[in-house]
Structure 1
Amino acid sequence: MPISAPVSAPRADASPDLRIADAAPPARVTLRTHLSLALLALVYIFSFIDRQALAILIEPIKREFGASDTAIGMLSGLAFAVLYAGLGVPVGKLADRSNRRNIVAVCCALWSLATLGCGMAVYFWQLLAARMGVAIGEAGGMAPSVSLVSDMYPPRQRSFVISLFMMGPNLGVLVGMAAGGWIAQHFGWRHTFLWFGGPGLVLALLVRLFVREPGRGQFEAVRMAAAADTAATPPVSFLRQLLDLWRIPALRYLCLACGVAGVPSYAYGIWATSFLVRTYGVSLAEVGLMFGLTSGVGAIAGALFSGALADRLVVRDRRWQLALPMIGVALGIPSVLAFLLWPATGVWTIGGMHTPHALVFAMLFSFFAAWFPALSYSAMSQLVRAHERGVASALLNLFITLFGVGCGPFVAGVLSDALAPTFGAEALRYSLVATMGLYALTVGCYALALNPYRRRLEALGA
Structure 2
Amino acid sequence: MLRMHTPQTSPPTVTWRTHLSLALLALVYIFSFIDRQVLSILLEPIKQEFGASDTQMGLLTGLAFGLIYALLGIPVGRMADTQNRRNIVAVCCGVWSLATAACGFATQYWHMLAARMSVAVGEAGGMAPSISIVSDSYPPRMRSFAISLFMMGPNLGTLLGLVIGGMVAQYYGWRAVFLAFGIPGVILAVLVYFFVKEPVRGAYEAPKTKPVANAAREPMLKQVFRLLGMKALRNICLACGMAGIAGYGYGVWAPSFFIRIHGMSISHAGLVFGIASGSGAVVGAMFCGWLSDKLTQRDSRWQLRLAAIGSFCAVPAALGVFFWPVSDFWMLGSIKVPVAMVFALMFGFFGAWFATLSYSAISQLVGAGERSVAAAVLNLFITLLGVGVGPLVTGMLSDYFAKTHGTEGLRLALSGVSMMFLLTVLFFALAIKPYKQRLQQMQSASA
TM-score category by the smaller chain?
A: over 0.9
Aligned with 1:367 (options 349, 360, 381): 349
Helix, strand or coil: the match of 1:101?
Answer: helix
* Aligned equivalent of 2:284: 302
Helix, strand or coil: the match of 1:372?
Answer: helix
How many angstroms apart in 2 are the aligned matches of 1:240 and 1:120?
Answer: 42
* Aligned equivalent of 1:111: 96
* Aligned equivalent of 2:7: 21
* Aligned equivalent of 1:225: 208
The letter of the residue matching 1:369 is: G
Helix, strand or coil: the match of 1:22?
Answer: coil
Mapped pair 1:431 → 2:413 = yes
The letter of the residue matching 2:300 is: R
* Aligned equivalent of 1:329: 311
| 1:398-420 CA-partner distances (Å, limit 9, x unpaired) | 00000000000000000000111
How many angstroms apart in 2 are the aligned matches of 1:173 and 1:416?
Answer: 22
* Aligned equivalent of 1:383: 365
* Aligned equivalent of 1:183: 168
Mapped pair 1:216 → 2:201 = yes
* Aligned equivalent of 2:118: 133
Aligned with 2:241 (options 241, 250, 259): 259
- Per the TM alignment, residue 351 of structure 1 is displaced from its structure 2 partner at its CA by 2.0
Mapped pair 1:352 → 2:334 = yes
The letter of the residue matching 1:367 is: F
- Per the TM alignment, residue 427 of structure 1 is displaced from its structure 2 partner at its CA by 0.6
The letter of the residue matching 2:353 is: W
* Aligned equivalent of 1:273: 255
| 1:295-351 CA-partner distances (Å, limit 9, x unpaired) | 111011101111100000001110000000100011111111111111111122222
Aligned with 1:87 (options 47, 72, 82): 72
- Per the TM alignment, residue 144 of structure 1 is displaced from its structure 2 partner at its CA by 0.3
How many angstroms apart in 2 are the aligned matches of 1:359 and 1:416?
Answer: 21
Aligned with 2:142 (options 147, 157, 181): 157
- Per the TM alignment, residue 226 of structure 1 is displaced from its structure 2 partner at its CA by 3.8
Helix, strand or coil: the match of 2:213?
Answer: helix
* Aligned equivalent of 2:397: 415
Helix, strand or coil: the match of 1:349?
Answer: strand
| 1:271-305 CA-partner distances (Å, limit 9, x unpaired) | 00000000011111111100110111101110111
The letter of the residue matching 1:292 is: G
| 1:19-43 CA-partner distances (Å, limit 9, x unpaired) | x6232x4311111000000000000
How many angstroms apart in 2 are the aligned matches of 1:420 and 1:245?
Answer: 42
* Aligned equivalent of 2:296: 314
Stretch of structure 1 that moved more, 232-241 or 97-106 = 232-241
- Per the TM alignment, residue 234 of structure 1 is displaced from its structure 2 partner at its CA by 8.6
| 1:146-204 CA-partner distances (Å, limit 9, x unpaired) | 00000000000000000000000110011000000000000000000000001110110
CA contact 2:248–2:386 (8 Å) conserved in 1: yes
For the structure 1 residues 319 and 419, does the alpha-carbon distance in structure 2 shift closer, same or farther, using more than 3 Å as the test?
same
- Per the TM alignment, residue 239 of structure 1 is displaced from its structure 2 partner at its CA by 1.4
Q: Structure 1 unaligned runs (5+)?
A: 1-16
How many angstroms apart in 2 are the aligned matches of 1:21 and 1:312?
Answer: 28
CA contact 1:107–1:140 (8 Å) conserved in 2: yes
* Aligned equivalent of 1:3: none
The letter of the residue matching 1:354 is: K
CA contact 1:282–1:354 (8 Å) conserved in 2: no
| 1:69-102 CA-partner distances (Å, limit 9, x unpaired) | 0000000001001100000000000000100000
* Aligned equivalent of 1:197: 182
How many angstroms apart in 2 are the aligned matches of 1:353 and 1:227?
Answer: 55
Mapped pair 1:452 → 2:438 = no
How many angstroms apart in 1 are the aligned matches of 2:216 and 2:23?
Answer: 37
Which structure 2 residues correspond to residues 28-67 of structure 1 after superposition, within 5 A?
Answer: 28-67=13-52
- Per the TM alignment, residue 227 of structure 1 is displaced from its structure 2 partner at its CA by 4.2
Helix, strand or coil: the match of 2:236?
Answer: helix
Aligned with 1:403 (options 379, 382, 385): 385
CA contact 2:67–2:388 (8 Å) conserved in 1: yes
For the structure 1 residues 215 and 348, does the alpha-carbon distance in structure 2 shift closer, same or farther, using more than 3 Å as the test?
same
CA contact 2:201–2:210 (8 Å) conserved in 1: no
CA contact 2:22–2:134 (8 Å) conserved in 1: yes
Helix, strand or coil: the match of 2:337?
Answer: strand
Aligned with 1:282 (options 240, 253, 264): 264
How many angstroms apart in 2 are the aligned matches of 1:346 and 1:422?
Answer: 26
- Per the TM alignment, residue 45 of structure 1 is displaced from its structure 2 partner at its CA by 0.2
Helix, strand or coil: the match of 2:407?
Answer: helix
Q: CA RMSD of the aligned region, Å?
A: 1.3
How many angstroms apart in 1 are the aligned matches of 2:265 and 2:414?
Answer: 21
The letter of the residue matching 1:431 is: A
CA contact 2:82–2:216 (8 Å) conserved in 1: no
How many angstroms apart in 1 are the aligned matches of 2:215 and 2:315?
Answer: 46
Helix, strand or coil: the match of 2:12?
Answer: coil
How many angstroms apart in 2 are the aligned matches of 1:321 and 1:234?
Answer: 29
How many angstroms apart in 1 are the aligned matches of 2:216 and 2:407?
Answer: 60
| 1:390-445 CA-partner distances (Å, limit 9, x unpaired) | 11000000000000000000000000001112111111000101111111111000
How many angstroms apart in 2 are the aligned matches of 1:62 and 1:390?
Answer: 37
Q: Structure 2 unaligned runs (5+)?
A: none
The letter of the residue matching 2:74 is: V
How many angstroms apart in 2 are the aligned matches of 1:453 and 1:26?
Answer: 27
CA contact 2:100–2:179 (8 Å) conserved in 1: yes
- Per the TM alignment, residue 232 of structure 1 is displaced from its structure 2 partner at its CA by 6.5
| 1:340-395 CA-partner distances (Å, limit 9, x unpaired) | 11111112222212221100110011111111111100000000011010110000
Helix, strand or coil: the match of 1:447?
Answer: helix
In our comparison, the structure showing a higher alpha carbon Rg is: 1
How many angstroms apart in 2 are the aligned matches of 1:300 and 1:251?
Answer: 25
How many angstroms apart in 2 are the aligned matches of 1:208 and 1:232?
Answer: 29
- Per the TM alignment, residue 231 of structure 1 is displaced from its structure 2 partner at its CA by 2.3
* Aligned equivalent of 1:8: none
